[in-house]
Chain A
Amino acid sequence: DQQVKQNSPSLSVQEGRISILNCDYTNSMFDYFLWYKKYPAEGPTFLISISSIKDKNEDGRFTVFLNKSAKHLSLHIVPSQPGDSAVYFCAALGSGNTGKLIFGQGTTLQVKP
């Protein structure tokens, strides 16, 4: 049962353009969402997060949008840079004091120069 889904395995964009990575979830008990970036042979690196009480969080070139009614979140990267090429994971946390991250399957982003 995939509670967090990233339906696009891959995405290719041109340098300078916007990258939009999508994530859907099924469990309405999730109340905190995180995005991680992962390069080969390295562990995931935390990018940005959002609480379920908000609908937008911005940090530099990265913005995460949350649509609770649709159980959908997206990560926008503007402008995209070749160094952004990596696998991006969406993850969710349930309410309460649990640190169990539920990850999506990941989306491989390629930013072409």
Chain B
Amino acid sequence: KAGVTQTPRYLIKTRGQQVTLSCSPISGHRSVSWYQQTPGQGLQFLFEYFSETQRNKGNFPGRFSGRQFSNSRSEMNVSTLELGDSALYLCASSLAVGGRRGYTFGSGTRLTVV
């Protein structure tokens, strides 16, 4: 079956702009989480959605937001982009919230802010 699909794979944006990233989970998976990976901070949790509801949120400013649709697809949005937002954004899906069944990650979206 198809894995976790993230689009686009690469993105270049200018400071101050906003960006929307998309994630399609594995069919049947209802939990979607987002992570930011940077060289300095490593992999950091952004938020987790289950059944269209945000279940957990990491320590990121309000410029970072997300949502989940009824088909479990998820989007994350970053407004007023800063240079420090340049990172690999990873989406992961799981059958249920909690993660004990394991998360499957997508290949990520590489965002570069110039």
Contacts and interface: CB of A to CB of B under 8 A. Distances in A.
Q: Do A and B come from one complex?
A: yes
Interface of A: 32, 34, 36, 41-46, 49, 51, 89, 91, 93, 97-106
B56 A98 contact: yes
Interface in B27-49: 31, 33, 35, 42-45, 48
Contact of B103 (A42, A99, A105): A99
B50 to A, nearest CB: 8
9 contacts: A36-B105, A43-B90, A43-B92, A49-B102, A91-B43, A98-B56, A99-B55, A99-B94, A99-B103
Chain B contact surface mostly: strand
A43 B106 contact: yes
A43 B4 contact: yes
A100 B45 contact: yes
Nearest to B108: A43
Contact of A106 (B35, B42, B48, B90): B42
- Ranked nearest first, the 9 interchain pairs of A and B with the lowest CB-CB distance are A43-B105, A103-B43, A99-B99, A99-B48, A46-B102, A97-B98, A100-B45, A105-B42, A44-B105
Contacts of B44: 103
